[in-house]
Structure 1
């Protein structure tokens, strides 16, 4: 467990100022850390101590309760300086949000308190050998004593080398129903140093080289019921869980774009040579270079504006009453169902700002959930209850999809154009200016924007809401 003593940030203004101060510090040596693949242990300690990692903890539990739009701006500011450092806490914030949406009161109190004290969460979600990125093979099996064992291997575990806690995505393997839990996927929160956990520093990506995105092996790792959160309670209910996570990815790409543009401008002003046909003495006075910078600036400022608008859309989809300990959670409903032998396939509590906006049902277990969560959560029929593409959660998903598309283009084009406007000398290996493009190209692969175009087109032509699967 981390021994960092974290500051307490209580406002969005303070969060932005702290992020800007840290960004100025982290920018120094970012290219060198990338070139040598020096993991930013000191920088992550500074980030944890700053209090930024706790800014989304609900106010009821002692946090700043910042909305998604403000968190995205913090991430963007950090990404301008070093997108590796900006990406490391991505899953930290996402799995804090899962606790908020679907954790029990005991789980919230337990892990929110640790995060306020500086604890860091990393994901163990993706699997290299699965047929698709959505398939989960890591198993959660009940064992004697009311406990469970986790077995499997995870890859792309961003931040795992810096983590105190791992959020492990598992599939319940309990065909006889001995556990009393509903079939499906769960997230197990466990100490990174738990017996049976082995973290391997084997990430060798083209870019984002210092994110600590290694492999994590789980061999008979034991957890209890109190460490499990049902994932479907947040992902497959209209809670803006997916758009919240994707907004932060868009913020990283937007930050990369701004960082690349700033680096290109600095190089052209201080080291660039004009093309002889331009008839000017400075590269910065070449009219064609000026034109190109204008075009690149439009890309970056459009990405920033689109990100800001998407953040407000996510805020609107998650706005509501202040989250307090009195509100029942999905975890509480699952626990109650388990104790009574009921099969629960999905439950949801407060939204990202405490709004009880869960409206999912699948035709089974609905009555049980209505009884335990109250009439606000009742639904009829199968699938998702909503208002199509006009639903606030759908609008948030579509706004974030747009932001992700624009940020993807801005990051990859601007980081490549850096060399176009800077000239041959900018390609020197010792300058390592290609780390902007490598980081952009690697991070934008996280989820394909081509499918985001599909969801946007279907919404416009058919009024179809985007799917609820956590990556839009």
Structure 2
């Protein structure tokens, strides 16, 4: 698949996914068939570098694809997020031999997932999972939570500690000692398969272990790339909610009696509020495009200055998308009236998805670092900024 035709293909797939998004959410039907469609279309291989036989799609194009998918079903949009983050990690930190091996796997259809977060540590960045040496390579011990997409994956990159340094160990999903529990019970993003991964003496080939440090260097843009895709999901949720709210008001809402109009869409205060939300959503989409271009620049020309510019552009887009998604998903009910709260309509999924996904990292810290940058401080480069 060439990335030149990726956007129209993603739009077409999004249109088909939109038709059954509510049923999947209502009945918690995991989108196995839909993820397979993305694979068959070559979406998971989009960012494999050209020198390794891939399409080498820019981050800006990928972000727009994720936004399009999220505007139909943000659960499906979130599932490949970690896959693309770890492809980018391999670009930044793996040896040439490792890149050759894993990029060939991905071009053949392999999917990566996520086993990073833990519970019980002092902060969310604490890592207790152990990578221990063995006579044949390494073994893993630990438990990971919020492991999005693992039920759809062929490989699970596991964040672990060895000799006080952090590594990513790439583990095939059929490995002995590895089990995945489908226990995600979030109020939103219900079909992302963000369950628990248990690692009890999982053997790992030494060729599949990659030190993490290189990806976190000040010039890499690693965190900005990952956050760009999160912002794209939030922007997609916002657009989805705004479109559904407008359709509901046009087709089903009744006007407030004081407005003195025949149809709800003729109410001037309703139109005004729609305008406010539309500006929020359009601003988030525009800032997302700007951030995508900044990430393209740092990935093509790594430098501390380009990385800082990309991080701040992405933080701005993330803050705007956070605001737009929560504003638009609240407006579904505010503007549509009491009838819109009927559970059989499924409009609540927009707010539940927005509220759940925007919890990934606190947007207040985006504002904090944006403000500090104006006062002469460089942004951090810890993987989530």
Report the structure, 1 or 2, having the larger helix content: 2
User: Residue 251 of structure 1: SS of its match in structure 2?
Assistant: helix
Task: Give the match for residue 351 of structure 1.
Answer: none
Task: Give the match for residue 10 of structure 1.
Answer: 2
Deviation at 1:226, TM superposition (A): 0.6
User: Residue 144 of structure 2: SS of its match in structure 1?
Assistant: strand
User: Residue 167 of structure 1: SS of its match in structure 2?
Assistant: strand
User: Residue 216 of structure 1: SS of its match in structure 2?
Assistant: strand
Q: What does 1:60-71 align with in structure 2 at a 5 Å threshold?
A: 60-71=51-62
For residues 97 and 169 of structure 1, what CA distance do their matches in structure 2 show?
15
Deviation at 1:28, TM superposition (A): 0.8
Q: What does 1:189-200 align with in structure 2 at a 5 Å threshold?
A: 189-200=170-181
For residues 11 and 207 of structure 1, what CA distance do their matches in structure 2 show?
31
For residues 259 and 186 of structure 1, what CA distance do their matches in structure 2 show?
38
For residues 237 and 192 of structure 1, what CA distance do their matches in structure 2 show?
32
Task: Give the match for residue 453 of structure 1.
Answer: 367
TM-score (normalizing by structure 1): 0.80
Task: Give the match for residue 206 of structure 1.
Answer: 187
User: Residue 194 of structure 1: SS of its match in structure 2?
Assistant: coil
User: Residue 114 of structure 2: SS of its match in structure 1?
Assistant: strand
Q: What does 1:347-366 align with in structure 2 at a 5 Å threshold?
A: 357=303
Say whether the 8 Å CA contact 2:219–2:306 is kept in structure 1. no
TM-score (normalizing by structure 2): 0.98
Task: Give the match for residue 115 of structure 2.
Answer: 124
Task: Give the match for residue 52 of structure 1.
Answer: 43
For residues 469 and 194 of structure 1, what CA distance do their matches in structure 2 show?
30
Q: Please give the per-residue CA displacement for 1:85-111, whole angstroms capped at 9, x wherever unaligned.
A: 000000000000011111111111111
Deviation at 1:300, TM superposition (A): 0.3
1:407 paired with 2:321, answer yes
> How many equivalent pairs are there?
385
Task: Give the match for residue 153 of structure 2.
Answer: 163
Which of 98, 110, 134 aligns to 1:143? It is 134
Q: What does 1:360-375 align with in structure 2 at a 5 Å threshold?
A: none
For residues 292 and 237 of structure 1, what CA distance do their matches in structure 2 show?
42
For residues 346 and 42 of structure 2, what CA distance do their matches in structure 1 show?
31
For residues 6 and 294 of structure 2, what CA distance do their matches in structure 1 show?
20
1:265 paired with 2:246, answer yes
Find the structure with the greater CA-based Rg.
1
Q: What does 1:41-440 align with in structure 2 at a 5 Å threshold?
A: 41-145=32-136, 147-172=137-162, 174=163, 183-320=164-301, 357=303, 386=304, 391-440=305-354
For residues 224 and 162 of structure 1, what CA distance do their matches in structure 2 show?
22
Q: Please give the per-residue CA displacement for 1:152-195, whole angstroms capped at 9, x wherever unaligned.
A: 000000001111110110011x4xxxxxxxx4100011111111
Deviation at 1:11, TM superposition (A): 2.7
Q: Please give the per-residue CA displacement for 1:116-145, whole angstroms capped at 9, x wherever unaligned.
A: 121110010000222211011000011123
For residues 237 and 297 of structure 1, what CA distance do their matches in structure 2 show?
36
User: Residue 441 of structure 1: SS of its match in structure 2?
Assistant: helix
Structure 2 residue runs of 5 or longer lacking an equivalent are: none
Q: Please give the per-residue CA displacement for 1:201-233, whole angstroms capped at 9, x wherever unaligned.
A: 000001000000000000000112210111111
Structure 1 residue runs of 5 or longer lacking an equivalent are: 1-8, 175-182, 321-354, 358-385
Deviation at 1:236, TM superposition (A): 3.4
For residues 10 and 197 of structure 1, what CA distance do their matches in structure 2 show?
35
Aligned-residue RMSD, C-alpha: 1.0
For residues 254 and 154 of structure 1, what CA distance do their matches in structure 2 show?
28
Deviation at 1:237, TM superposition (A): 3.6
Once structures 1 and 2 are overlaid, which stretch shifts more, 116-125 or 439-448? 116-125
Structure 1 consecutive aligned stretches of length 4 or more whose deviation exceeds 4 Å: none
Deviation at 1:428, TM superposition (A): 0.2
For residues 255 and 214 of structure 1, what CA distance do their matches in structure 2 show?
23
For residues 453 and 11 of structure 1, what CA distance do their matches in structure 2 show?
33
For residues 447 and 111 of structure 1, what CA distance do their matches in structure 2 show?
29
